[in-house]
Structure 1
Amino acid sequence: MQPHQLEYFVAVAETGSFTAGADRVGVVQSAVSAAIKQLERGLGAPLIERGYHRLTLTAEGEALLPRAREVLAGIDAAREAVAGARGQVVGTVLFGTLSYTGRWDIAEVLQGFAARHPGITVRMRQTISGSATNEADVRSGALDLALVSTPATSLPGLTLTRIHGDELVFVCAPDHRLARARAVSPADLAEESWIDFPTGWGNRTVVDAAFASAGVSRTVRTEVTSFGLARNLVCRGLGVSIVPRASIAGDPVIVSVPIGLEWSFQLAVASNRRISAAAARLAEAVEASAI
């Protein structure tokens, strides 16, 4: 059993694809396939079921995955120990981010971090499934740290540090009945046709909680994952939405009305295991950039 075999196996398991796994580790797909076949022969068990659309792990593969992560983490820790003895910080950090971070500039943060820590590689993954996915992946070890958007101040297995927040506003077309309102509440919006984000996204969680607390039900007819698309649908009178104010700042053809809610995101780090020195440095940089 070789470290690179475990690395390739973890990459394929986490991406669900030999192609994407090969891209992650920077080798050709045939090398990844060959290494995993060797690993399966060495262990005497199949690890991956090769489906038409997406790969799945066998029971043996599911059992191996957390152990493989532990082995790779141990190897990284050994490298860090040697580098630390020389006064260096090296390593790779798996960092999950969100599709929207408001006025917080992630590119600027990473640019400054790369200049200060040239020995640290940051592998960043932007979630397309919302904060719930990032939360689960930090708990499992698939990510070292991640940005998550949740109204909770604490979550099981995670340590949260607030990074940025923005006012949530109700948005509608200029000819909507509430376009001239100074403020609205969930009770005012019960009969609207809603454009919202999927369950598991932080802004959706905040809005759902507010309506549930008020005892008001609503109908989400359209789910999107883009604030730009939500804005275009609202402008054309196809529904209403609630979005962070910064996402529609300066838009002349959309009306925003305060609703008394806030969207925010936090940095999530696992609370039940040690993170690497490299991950700790990135966490410090993200936390120092909070606005």
Structure 2
Amino acid sequence: METRQLEYFVAVAEELNFTRAAARMFAVQSTVSAGIRALEADVGAALFLRSTKSVALTPAGEVLLPEARLALEAVDRVRSAAAASTAGIRGRLRVGIFTNIGFVDLPALFGEFHASHPLVDLQLGASASGSTGLADDVRRGRVDVAFMGLPARDLAGLDVLVLAQTRFVAVLPQGHPLAARDGVTMHDLAQERFVDSPEGFGNRVVIERAFAEAGITRAVSTVVSDLGEIPRFVAADLGVAVVPALGLTPPAGTVAVPLVDPVVAWSLSVASRANPSPAVAALLGLLAARFPLPA
């Protein structure tokens, strides 16, 4: 079994297309196909179901995929450890991010990281299912580390570094009957139409549970994938919102009122797997230094 065969296998498994996988690996398709056939012969099982229209993993392929990712990560760690003693950390760092994290200046953060570790290739990407999808990506080895808005109980099995903690506030249109209050409760908002993130996004997971525990079923009438844009939709009178206060600047035409009784907390964190690569460890060290939580 060769490392290159595992790389071809992971590429095809993620792309579910031999042509795209070959382009990603800078190889011709026949070479990728031959590598997959050799790997299938080595493990004694078909790894893909192939047709003229689609490619899918077999049960054996599903089992092999996380192990192949772990094996490739182990190879990367060996190479990185050897290189670090002479040329510094090298390799690839795949980071899952939100579409908008106003509290964290990602370009500046990764610019600083790159200045210290110029041989590390950075790949940053979001998930269509928000923090829930990113947590799954970390567990399955599709990304190395990811920014998270999920509570700790949803991150079992992952190493979690909390960067910041905040509370939720209600964002209301100016002139709303509740806008002049010092605080609002979930029951005050029970009959409102809501603007919120898609299901699976960390902030929505947290607040949905809080409303459910209060016995309230919300009506979410407008879904916006960019958390930072939600208050602007409130300003357009499409509903009210309940969002983390961290980094929030209410736009003209809106008022932010603390959510009370109960106060609902939200954490911004990063999650990774155990035994991180040198590149992941370096990024976590930078984040811990830049975002020390108060005692």
Which TM-score bucket, shorter chain as reference? 0.7 to 0.9
Partner of 1:27: 26
Instruction: Return closer, same or farther for 1:268/1:51 CA change in 2, 3 Å cut-off.
Output: farther
- Determine the C-alpha separation between the residues in 2 that align with 1:180 and 1:54: 57
Structure 2 contact 48–58 (Cα < 8 Å) conserved: yes
Residues 31-63 of structure 1: per-residue CA shift (max 9 Å, x gap) = 3x3343113322245534468997532223213
Does structure 1 retain, via aligned residues, the 8 Å contact 2:97–2:125?
A: yes
SS across alignment from 1:216:
coil
For the residues of structure 2 that align with 1:26 and 1:41, how far apart are their CA atoms? 16
C-alpha distance in 2, partners of 1:209/1:157?
Answer: 21
TM normalised by structure 2 equals: 0.84
Kept in 1, the 8 Å contact 2:11–2:25? The answer is no
**Structure 1 position 80, deviation (Å):** 2.1
Deviation string, structure 1 residues 85-122 (Cα, Å, up to 9, x no partner): 43632221222112222221111110001011112222
Q: Which runs of 5+ in 1 are unaligned?
A: none
Q: CA deviation at 1:143?
A: 1.9
How far has the Cα of 1:141 moved from its partner? 2.0
2:56 match: 56
1:110 counterpart = 2:110: yes
Is residue 168–residue 245 contact of structure 2 (8 Å, CA) maintained in 1?
Answer: yes
2-structure distance, mates of 1:151, 1:91: 30
Q: What corresponds to 2:93 in structure 1?
A: 93
Residues 267, 287 of structure 1: 8 Å contact kept: no
Would you say the 8 A contact 1:153–1:160 is kept in 2? Answer: no
TM-score, with length taken from structure 1: 0.85
- Alignment of structure 1 residues 109-188 onto 2, 5 Å: 109-152=109-152, 155-188=155-188
Kindly report structure 1 stretches of 4+ aligned residues shifted beyond 6 Å: 51-54
CA contact (8 A) 1:166 1:264 kept: yes
Residue 131 to residue 85, structure 1, CA distance change in 2 (3 Å): same
Go from structure 1 to structure 2 and tell me whether the alpha carbon gap of 1:171 and 1:16 turns closer, same or farther (over 3 Å shift).
farther
Distance, in Å, in 2 between the alignment partners of 1:52 and 1:178 is 59
Match of 1:79 in 2: 79
Distance 1:236 1:51 in 2: 49
Give distance in 2, aligned partners of 1:154 and 1:82.
Answer: 36
Count the aligned residue pairs.
285
